[in-house]
């Protein structure tokens, strides 16, 4: 940041700061934040905490859609794990982020015992293009003896 010094009425120095980041178009910042989110989630949180501009950029849906959630422990997906982690993951699933949907479906299926909801969530992640979710949803549908052929074909 550049500090611009001026004198007030009393002769005291008044400093105003000018953020050079604001000269770059906003959509480029969103693209940068999306790349940061897809590589390392901790860097996204650090970027978000840096300044107001970055905090605004990091709150866009495109950033959450591509956020890398695979490095988060499975315990973060549980509803009692903490507000910050659940807030981040619930935002990722509403955007929708296929990797977050896959993990949420697996927790619902195996940890919480919600068979139908878990399979639907994993299948939704597969429909969004997550390769791991495609494989797992077919294996789950076949191994759990789901009789609905339309669901298997999807």
pLDDT, tens digit, 9 for 90 and up, residues 25-42:
878 888 888 888 888 878
Q: Does residue 145 share a domain with residue 101?
A: yes
Q: Does residue 135 share a domain with residue 97?
A: yes
* Final residue in a domain of this structure, among 35, 65, 95: 65
Side-chain half-sphere exposure of 119, counting CA atoms within 13 A: 15
Q: Does residue 56 share a domain with residue 124?
A: no
Q: Does residue 96 share a domain with residue 53?
A: no
Distances, alpha carbon 60 to alpha carbons 33, 79, 128, 154, in Å: 9, 23, 19, 30
In a domain, 2, yes or no: no
Cβ–Cβ < 8 Å for 42, 49: no
Per-residue pLDDT at 152 exceeds 60: no
Domain that holds residue 78: 69-154
Distances, alpha carbon 16 to alpha carbons 1, 2, 53, 131, in Å: 10, 8, 17, 50
How big, in percent rounded to 5, are the helix, strand and coil portions of the chain?
A: 65, 10, 25
In a domain, 5, yes or no: no
- HEC string of 52-75 equals HHHHHHCCCHHHHHCCCCCCCCHH
When divided into structural domains, the chain yields a total of 2
Q: Does residue 75 share a domain with residue 108?
A: yes
In a domain, 85, yes or no: yes
pLDDT, tens digit, 9 for 90 and up, residues 51-73:
888 888 888 888 888 888 877 76
In a domain, 121, yes or no: yes
């Amino acid at each position: 940041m550049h500090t611009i010094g001026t004198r007030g009425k009393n002769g005291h120095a008044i400093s105003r700061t000018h953020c050079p980041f604001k000269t770059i178009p906003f959509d480029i910042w969103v693209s940068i934040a999306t790349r940061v989110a897809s590589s390392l989630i901790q860097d996204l949180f650090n970027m978000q905490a840096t300044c107001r501009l970055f905090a605004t950029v990091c709150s866009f849906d495109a950033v959450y859609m591509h956020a890398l959630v695979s490095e988060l422990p499975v315990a973060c997906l549980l509803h009692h794990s903490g507000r910050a982690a659940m807030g981040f993951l619930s935002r990722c699933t509403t955007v929708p982020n296929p990797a977050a949907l896959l993990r949420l479906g697996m927790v619902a299926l195996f940890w919480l015992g919600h068979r139908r909801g878990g399979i639907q969530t994993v299948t939704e992640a597969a429909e969004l293009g997550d390769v791991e979710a495609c494989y797992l949803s077919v294996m789950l549908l076949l191994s759990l003896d789901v009789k609905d052929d339309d669901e298997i074909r999807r």
